[in-house]
Structure 1
Amino acid sequence: MLILANLLICALFVGWLINRYDLYDKEPWYMLLLAVILGTAFMHLSLDPQVWSITILYPHLSFAQSLALVAATHEELAKLLAVILIATIFRGVFKDPMDGLIYGSMVGIGAAIDESFGLLSELEGPLPPSEVVRIFGHAIFGGITGFGIGLYVIGHHRRHAFLALTLSASMLLHYLWDLATVELVEPSQTASFSCCMIMLCGLAIYGRLICVAQYHSRKRFNPDHHHRLFGWPISLVLKPPRSPSP
């Protein structure tokens, strides 16, 4: 029970942090909660297909590779379907790329809750630090995936390419992360360095997408507002796109 309480508190904190990036058109709290619930449900529904797929791949790949490949593809597809469901049913709420990123991240948090609870339900005591990283990781992967749906909703002229690119990026990062964490069962400097680099790469992509999403939101909802999303020194690296000259 303590594990679940700690898990939900961490998930709530991560969700609060991410929702702060939505500066111009805040999502209703019940929609964010729905996204978390859908993420939990879709993650749970993906478990049996994951087991079946691992049994098919395992003779051809190592167990670690099979596990990482199946988890990355099945779980990111589950998140994608959850975001598509929200975008389709609640079209009046799902308006731009920032919505895709926010809802994708919330779906990712729900997926992390289901995965962590399944792994830790028998444990007692405080939440292991690795589970906090899991929540952040799934939120980042889900946000990258959801961003592509947001571009699709606004009819971006390269929406098909960007949707394929964001989904592929989230799957690749997820695959590499899972593969690296399996190696951490026997700790080594190489495995630890790999995990750090993968997470930094994911954060950089996520941060850049936040800047792009904010640009589209500002253009749609408040063109005259120029609030800076990130402060110094992050703003030196993550800059919003420049508006085209009139």
Structure 2
Amino acid sequence: MNSIPLLGAGTYRLKDGAGYDSVKTSLEAGFRHIDTAQIYGNEEEVGQAIADSSIPREDVFLTTKVWIDNFAKEKFAPSVQESLQKLKTDYIDLLLIHWPLKDDEVPMEEYLPELKALKDSGLVRHIGVSNFTNAQLGKAIDILGDGEIYTNQVEVHPYLQNHKVVDFCEANGVIVTGYMPFAYGDVLQDETIQAIAKEHDVSPAQVVLAWMRQNEFVTIPSSTKKANIESNLHSEKVTLTESDMEKIATLDRDHRLASPSFAPDWD
């Protein structure tokens, strides 16, 4: 599979059997986009679930991410080889830099060419970044050249619409992948979201995922429950009105949930 499906199945915090079961159930339900990362500690389970499914590997868009401890030149490619072994595959559809380094201990000029070299070798189909600010993304584009960075994966949901980053990505031809679309469930409790859901006779989660899709964001909700996984997939049949979209646009409140101590200074 060459292009990234707008809706994928995330695996953050899903360890051991939960990670395996979630991916297997997602694939059986119809998902064809799976997102993991070295730091999640579940690449083996994700790879086994894909291998055990009846879905051909080429029909699954698989993303993983290089952790900050592996940015040094001598560690970068070996860490990705280890990911390939764990994932039981000979290529990765999308490889991301998981977080930018706040202290530049390893400069972008060192690790980004390592990322591109893996793409040039054929082990990786697409490359991108995650949690990069506009300044960092601009620098990355300068280093690698136009058209190399496929996506910037950042936190996006109705309570954190991240307009500056979204606009910069769109201006530079970079796909926005929005993680944590439900904000750990916070936006699902929102009265406006619930009212729109009631009007369409769908779930609040389906409203949020439809909003993401209609904004042309890729998104990667995670779940361990079959009913929720199937419901998330069925959001592709939900179409929000222009009025619905305008109402959700008013919910933005800079409600950021992913901001660890090593996070950059956000836009």
Same-fold call, TM cutoff 0.5? no
- Larger RCO, structure (CA 8 Å, separation 6 or more): 1
When you count strand as a share of all residues, which structure comes out higher?
2
What is the TM-score with the length of structure 1 in the denominator? 0.25
Length-normalised TM-score, structure 2 = 0.24
